[in-house]
Amino acid sequence: MFDFVKIKNWWRSRKIKFYTSLLRSSAGSIGKNSLICPPFQSFNIKEMQVGNNTRISEHCWIQCIDNYQGKSFSPRLDIGNDVHIGRFAHIIACDNIKIGNSVVIAERVYISDNLHGFEDINMPIMKQPLKQAGPVIIEDEAWIGNGACILPNVTIGKHAIIGSNAVVTKDIPPYSVAAGVPAKVIKQYNPKTKKWEKLTIS
Ligand SMILES: CC(C)(COP(=O)(O)OP(=O)(O)OC[C@H]1O[C@@H](n2cnc3c(N)ncnc32)[C@H](O)[C@@H]1OP(=O)(O)O)[C@@H](O)C(=O)NCCC(=O)NCCS
């Protein structure tokens, strides 16, 4: 029987594979079986290394900034193996962003290692220099919920969970759940009881 959804998905997967193969000439590297889905926005992905079996979903904007307003940077963006990046993710590296293996990033997530200078009140913000504000490291198996913002100079530990719409401004330890604005740890895995235990937030 005619199944339009099946045909549509087959055609889409062909298109994604072809699109990814074209992007290989622009990226640092894109590993085996990894896919970048169109539409995809970027001006530079030369310093982006993507591992194997990773998927970058539609409408992502991923940028390695090597020059901004005349200032040069040496960006590095590493995305591991078996990573899923949901739609509308916005990842901007001008220093160092590292996403480990088996990380799940939901939709509309923002990750940045930099910020716009704003100190000069006589100059529009877009014209002020970009500031490197510290690397972002997301360790293996972390799960970043929908709409979360991961700000510069932050390490998210192994198997940590970031709740939807959280704004992460400080390191989150491994095997913990963090939520809120700014994000605070609300649960942690206790290896003695083998249970995730709720913490009281002061
Ligand atoms: C963070 C999360 C995983 C926690 O789930 P959980 O362990 O079942 O947490 P609980 O429901 O026991 O909530 C614990 C407390 O944190 C609060 N909380 C949970 N998620 C929160 C969030 N995203 N922001 C703020 N507070 C949150 C709860 O209200 C509860 O507060 P209380 O103790 O005052 O009642 C989950 O709430 C979440 O945000 N998941 C992300 C979903 C998502 O983005 N999915 C995308 C698909 S890839």
Q: What is the pLDDT of residues 24-40, one digit of tens each?
A: 999 999 999 999 999 99
Rounded CA gap, 45 and 114, in Å?
A: 17
pLDDT for residue 1: 85
- Relative to the CA of 84, which ligand 1 atom is closest? 48
Q: Is 180 in the pocket of ligand 1 (CB under 6 A)?
A: yes
User: What pTM did the predictor assign?
Assistant: 0.95
Q: Which domain holds residue 184?
A: 4-198
Kindly report the CATH number assigned to the domain that includes residue 34.
Answer: 2.160.10.10
The protein residue whose alpha carbon is closest to atom 38 in ligand 1 is: 163
Residues classed as catalytic: 116
Atom of ligand 1 nearest to the CA of 106: 48
Q: How many domains does the chain have?
A: 1
Residues 109-150 have pLDDT tens digits of 999 999 999 999 999 999 999 999 999 999 999 999 999 999
Contact 125, 117 (CB under 8 A): yes
On the question of pLDDT at 107 being above 80, the answer is: yes
**Cβ–Cβ under 8 Å, residues 71 and 49:** no
d(CA 172, CA 178): 7
Residue 201 confidence class, pLDDT cut points 50, 70, 90: low
